[in-house]
Amino acid sequence: MLFIFSGRSEYNLNMGLELFENESVFKSSILESNEIITQLGGTSILPNFSKTAPNNFFETETNIYNTIAAIQIATFDLLKNKKTSPNAILGLSMGEVSGLYASGAIPKLEVFKILQAMEVTSSHESQSYVSILINESIEVLNYTANDDLNIIHPVYENTPKSTIALVDEANIALLKEYCKKNELTYRVISKNNLFPYHTSKIEDFKAEVKECFKDLNFSPLTTDYYSGSAGTVIPKGTILNEDFFYHCLRHVVLANSVFIKIKETNELFDLVQIGPNIFGINHLKGILSNNIVPTIFQTFSKSNNYILFKNTFKAIHKIGKQNYSLISKEEPFTSFIENFNISDKYYKNKPIPYWSYLKTKGNIHFLPSCQTWLVIDHNTISDILKTPEVFSSKPYKDFDPYLVGADAPSHEKMRGLLQSVFSSKSLNRLEHFATKKAEKLIQNFPKNCPINFVDYFSLQLSRSVTFCLLGLDEIQADKVNSIIGVNNFDTNDLLIGLFRDLLASNYKFDDDSAMAYLKEQITLKTMSLEAASSIARLLFTAGVLTTTMLLTNSFLELMKSPNIVDTLEKSPKLKNRFIDEILRLHPPETILFRQITKNIHLNDVHIPQNAMIALDIRSANLDKKVYADPFTINLERSNTKHLSFGAGAHVCIGIGLAKLEAKIALNYYFDIIKKMNPILTDDITYFDSSHLYGPKIVNVQFKKA
């Protein structure tokens, strides 16, 4: 069974009255929803369930949405009470909110908190829009029509070649002119006074809308969820966040796209419309039809709701138990944890709701899907990092067995040998080089076209400084670049071979360079050629990775909060605090791994010897028990320590160089922010990695202030 939740496509006065009068579970659910609505300051929806309902009840937009949502929730609650639940759920437009309630993602209270955003929207925008069906694809309307006239606002992808859109009544003449010019036709679907939901108009009051989504409680999806706003399936076990609901309100409904995603599962779904019928149900039926035409079960009509519901429920059961599922007796958290994987993209991109949910059951969890223990609190992670004799760094042995993947005593010996690479003398040399390089890069910024700030500045500076640290000339640097290609943060094994050849050659590196020092250690037999080659690869990879992300994240935070620029210029000593706050908020390596050397009890949890343990550094750095108001930059924060560079014996050896480059960059960022007026031209794209998280594409355009 595929349960379908739609938006405001169909409604009428007294809808649901018969079920309200005849089904106690339905009535109880409606009364509970009504209590929530009124407690939130809304208007009671109970008049709709009275035979003396006022004719003007649905003249108020929020009454429409609240009533439809309450009916959808009550219908689902009634089916659930009768031991019938969906195999998957489809949500379209604002029906996504009640659909997500049915999927277990949000409780009932949150549904109506989210729907308050509709009231915000309707109170700001003119409700003079009509809906039309136009025979043009949504892609063309998005990127072509509004280049000529900003009059057509696509809201619903109907078919590949037709779109539902909103047009202000005042612009109907312009619409006719545009359609004639482009040989298009349209018809008016509704002349109701509508406001432009699912359009860019929402951005005009984004902050106020998003305020409705603050402090919501989220839980994992209990079924696969097909989202109209995302145009795809969101897997069971995913925990959503407030950004998802803003996306639902702001962006078009990709109905055709999500219908195709349902078809691609090859499941023989029967369709159950929960509450009022959806627009496009026959289109969905047509897409899903192969040799077997799916059955469409209605739970709602303009009259005789009670009889229709009873007939539908009987029909569902006649199909057979194999076509519908009983409510699972498995505890929801158990089901979630058995399928949860730290590589999941939703966890990587928006982890905060996951932490909140996980912490309801503790700070240490075994994840069967990846055979790993996950730790998410600061103090435990800090203790683990400072106890290397129990928590081994062996997981990194394949990458580098000489430093990162080594344990005592070999780790201490190698670390001692490498200290001189980052001596004061070396850092002074690199500071001079980095300053000149940063200045040159910024002078070459194009002023009239967007650039990827990562490629043009952050990556260029960090890579050039790392080449200087190693002592590579232009020819050698080009060889490194050719091996890496576009995979800037790939720990390419071919680099070890290149560095091995260079270290074994007769090439005379600059005396102050890391490569010269490594060659010397090989000669002195304090380090093998293999070890020196691995260390060279480590110095390059770690140096570029950490610093590039730090430089980019620092720039982005200053763009978001330009007032910090004035503070840092007036108090240069605060630069280090700013850099530490950036690192705390945006650790380049989000997950660190360790292996247990003996059976232990950690926070009363038994963990066996040789078990793998994953330390979520982001969760540690944002732990509310350690950092007050952890999600904001606070230059007066008393606790400036973070775990982004690790802790204990394995704390990053290159921390001084990374911070040095960041301080140099800040001096130039101040002028860029104030004088070049940078603006983001696209959404930020992040590196696709299970344990690294940093910006890959930050398209920025500079306009002189």
Instruction: Report pLDDT digits (tens) over 565-624.
Output: 999 999 989 999 999 999 999 999 999 999 999 999 999 999 999 999 999 999 999 999
What is the Cα–Cα distance from 366 to 351, expressed in whole angstroms?
Answer: 17
pLDDT band at 124 (very low <50, low <70, confident <90, very high): low
pLDDT band at 335 (very low <50, low <70, confident <90, very high): confident
SS3 label, residue 592: strand
Residue type, 91: G
pLDDT of the residue at 329: 52
493 pLDDT more than 90: no
326 pLDDT more than 60: no
What single DSSP character describes residue 186? E
Domains, the chain, ranges and CATH?
A: 2-122+206-323 (3.40.366.10), 126-194 (3.30.70.340), 388-702 (1.10.630.10)
Contacts of residue 432, defined as CB under 8 A and 6 or more positions apart, other chains included, come to none
Contacts of residue 225, defined as CB under 8 A and 6 or more positions apart, other chains included, come to 88, 89, 90, 91, 99, 100, 103, 105, 233, 234, 236, 238
SS3 label, residue 122: helix
What single DSSP character describes residue 479? H
- Contact yes or no for 462/657 (Cβ under 8 A): no
What is the Cα–Cα distance from 230 to 220, expressed in whole angstroms?
Answer: 17
What is the Cα–Cα distance from 339 to 337, expressed in whole angstroms?
Answer: 5
pLDDT of the residue at 280: 80
Give the 3-state DSSP-derived string for 135-177, with helices as H, strands as E and coil as C.
CCCHHHHHHHHHHHCCCCEEEEEEECCEEEEEEEHHHHHHHHH
pLDDT of the residue at 704: 64
pLDDT of the residue at 327: 44
Looking up tokens 């309801």 gives 360
pLDDT of the residue at 126: 62
Return the closest-CA partner of residue 14 out of 43, 52, 48, 62: 48
Mean pLDDT of the chain: 90
What is the Cα–Cα distance from 307 to 284, expressed in whole angstroms?
Answer: 25
Cis before residue 235, ω within 30 degrees of 0?
no
Here the tokens at position 309 are 């519901």
What b-and-e string marks burial along 273-299, b requiring 16 or more CB atoms within 10 Å of the CB?
bbbbbbbbbebbeebbeeeeebbbbbb
CB atoms within 10 A of CB 185: 11
pLDDT of the residue at 291: 63
143 pLDDT more than 90: no
